[in-house]
Homo-oligomer: A and B are copies of this chain.
Amino acid sequence: MEFTAQTIADFLQGKVEGNPDAKVSDVSKIEEGRPGTLCFLANPKYEKYLYTTEATIVIVNNDQKLAEPVKATLVRVPNAYESFASLLELYNSFQPQRKGIEQPSSVASSVQMGEDVYIGAFSYISENVKLGNNVKIYPQCYVGDNVVIGDNTTIFAGARIYHNCKIGANCTIHSGVVIGADGFGFAPQSAENNYKKIPQIGNVVIEDYVEIGSNSTIDRATMGSTYIRKGVKLDNLIHIAHNVEVGENTVMAAQAGIAGSTKIGRDCMFGGQVGIAPHVTIANGVKLGARSGVNNSLKKENEVLIGAPVQPFTDFMKCSAIFRRLPDMKRDLDLLKKKLEDK
């Protein structure tokens, strides 16, 4: 598909500066712009590339000043970043949409489904599953008995959803995600030092507008539900244990792990590889730096913490800086001791 500068300007309600017939068929970053591509300039740090880019069209802010001649055709808009993002969405929406039930697939006769559902080949939809309108289930997915999936939710290839779990509307579940496997519950039997499995008969409830990254795992509750609230975004390879609750709009970067029965507030942000102990509570709006380790409840909202155990960010930076000078401190201390003993 090709678009002219004029078409783009019309769509964005912007103004062409240069050749209105300039054509693009792809997008690029301004610093890597190639002929035939469209890019944008929003961050002043990147202005220098405006004068050298090979991109054919650049979207810029209305007030962008030009310090040098520009080879590209410009499209001026009130907010270049937002305009570009809406073009990306448009571009994405042009991708072919999958529809229909591909064969072979296994769809139980008791499955109920809305309109415009896609079920890819080799997917397995078990008894009494309910699929909303426009649900897209890519190939090789497994959906267990009684699972409910809301409207407009997409499940990418090879995700697995165990029985009785519920997934809301407008969610995106990436490849390899496992939802609703048994929580890790074993009762020690002291006689033989071995363990008896505690049946995990709860489920996982995922609310609307949730996105879950590749190969993340969310375990079913022992009883009741593990909750992933509305608007939560989880990156790849994240572990959410049984009976955890993750509050609305909380965001976690890759490889974070949340142990059992912990309750995370809303609007939290966790960096990569964060670990949180079982049975603790994290207040709303808490931000944890990458690799933080939390072993107690954090009750103060909106704190910014890091470290293991966590402390306020600037304190941690100070302590870490001194940690690196511990050999000096030790030597100083030993010298002082000696001095005082010599007296």
Residues of A within 8 A of B (CB): 27-29, 32, 85, 88-89, 91-92, 96, 102, 104, 106, 120-122, 124, 138-140, 142, 145, 156-158, 160, 162, 172, 174-176, 178, 181-182, 184, 186-187, 192-199, 201, 209, 211, 213-215, 217, 219, 223-224, 231, 233, 235-237, 239, 241, 248-249, 251, 253-255, 257, 259, 266-267, 272-273, 275, 277, 290-291, 293, 295, 308-309, 311, 315, 318-320, 322-327, 329-330, 332-333, 336-337, 339-340
Contacts and interface: CB of A to CB of B under 8 A. Distances in A.
26 contacts: A88-B201, A124-B157, A140-B158, A162-B175, A176-B178, A176-B217, A178-B236, A182-B213, A184-B213, A194-B231, A194-B249, A215-B217, A236-B239, A237-B239, A254-B257, A272-B275, A275-B291, A322-B330, A323-B323, A325-B330, A329-B333, A332-B337, A333-B336, A336-B336, A336-B337, A336-B340
A267 B327 contact: no
Copies in the complex: 3
Given A140-B122, A160-B158, A174 B184 contact: no
Contacts of A319: 323-324, 326-327
A178 B214 contact: yes
A198 B315 contact: no
B219 A236 contact: yes
Contact of A233 (B104, B195, B235): B195
A323 B326 contact: yes
Contact of A209 (B178, B194, B295): B194
Given A239-B272, A291-B293, 12 more contacts: A157-B160, A172-B197, A174-B181, A184-B254, A186-B233, A236-B239, A237-B237, A257-B272, A275-B291, A332-B333, A333-B333, A339-B340
Contact of A181 (B106, B121, B198, B214): B214
Among A85, A89, A192, A291, residue most surrounded by chain B Cβ atoms (within 10 Å): A291
A32 to B, nearest CB: 6
A102 B125 CA distance: 13
A97 to B, nearest CB: 12
A304 to B, nearest CB: 15
Given A176-B160, A178-B174, A223-B28, A251 B186 contact: yes
B121 A106 contact: yes
A279 to B, nearest CB: 12
Nearest to A289: B295
A190 to B, nearest CB: 11
Contacts of A187: 85
